[in-house]
């Protein structure tokens, strides 16, 4: 069986060049169509905000293989900040409590602007009106109420025994 027989150097050079280019294109095509893995680490301050996109998702403080099941379940629309994305479970910080842990990556969706605003809003401080006069001025010394008048100073303490009278040396 004859596959290819030629002794012409120009034909051999063009065939070799075509094979080399073909192999090179296949090699580069394999690199460019490779699966893109998202595995970047971000700081908690600059992490992206996500929300739980399912009804409930398990939350693990130490990881999904901690042995005693999830520590709690996060309800839908719980806002979390992404620390590290991974294939199965991502490390997150719960925006409301600051607690770090792991949730299933497939249960997270990008948080809407309304959810982020609600989760990061700081409560307004309540303004309490100051009293018109200091607390010390609220005690009326001229009151006729006996419960607000201090006892007279001359009385001894009721739980003390009477003072002992010592005999004088002249007796």
Q: Please give the average per-residue pLDDT across 82-93, as a whole number.
A: 91
Tell me the Cα Rg of the chain. Answer: 41
pLDDT band at 39 (very low <50, low <70, confident <90, very high): very low
The answer to whether the CB of 106 falls within 8 A of the CB of 118 is: no
Mention the CATH class of domain 49-120: mainly beta
Domain boundaries, the chain: 49-120
The answer to whether the CB of 79 falls within 8 A of the CB of 111 is: yes
Please give the residue that has the higher pLDDT: either 31 or 99: 99
The DSSP secondary structure of 63-115, one letter per residue, reads -TTSSS--SEEEETT-EEEEEE--SSEEEEEETTT--EEEEEGGGEEEPPHHH
Tell me: the pLDDT tens digits for 101-119? 999 999 999 988 888 888 7
> Taking 80 as the threshold, does the pLDDT of residue 155 lie above it?
no
- What is this structure's pTM? 0.46
What tokens appear for 45 in the block?
């301050």
User: SS3 for 50?
Assistant: strand
């Amino acid at each position: 069986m004859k596959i290819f027989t030629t002794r012409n150097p120009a034909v051999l050079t063009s065939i070799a060049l075509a094979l080399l280019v073909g192999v090179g294109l296949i090699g580069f095509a394999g690199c460019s169509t490779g699966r893109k893995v998202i595995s970047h680490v971000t700081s908690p301050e600059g992490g992206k905000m996500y929300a739980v996109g399912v009804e409930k998702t398990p939350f693990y403080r130490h990881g999904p293989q901690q042995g005693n099941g999830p520590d709690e379940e996060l309800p839908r629309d719980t806002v979390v900040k992404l620390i590290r994305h991974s294939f199965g479970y991502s490390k997150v910080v719960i925006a409301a409590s600051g607690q770090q842990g792991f949730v299933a990556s497939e249960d997270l969706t990008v948080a809407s602007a309304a959810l982020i605003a609600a989760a990061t809003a700081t409560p307004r401080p309540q303004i309490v009106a100051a009293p018109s006069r200091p607390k010390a001025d609220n005690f009326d010394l001229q009151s006729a109420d006996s419960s607000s008048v201090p006892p007279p100073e001359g009385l001894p303490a009721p739980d003390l025994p009477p003072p002992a009278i010592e005999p004088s040396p002249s007796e």
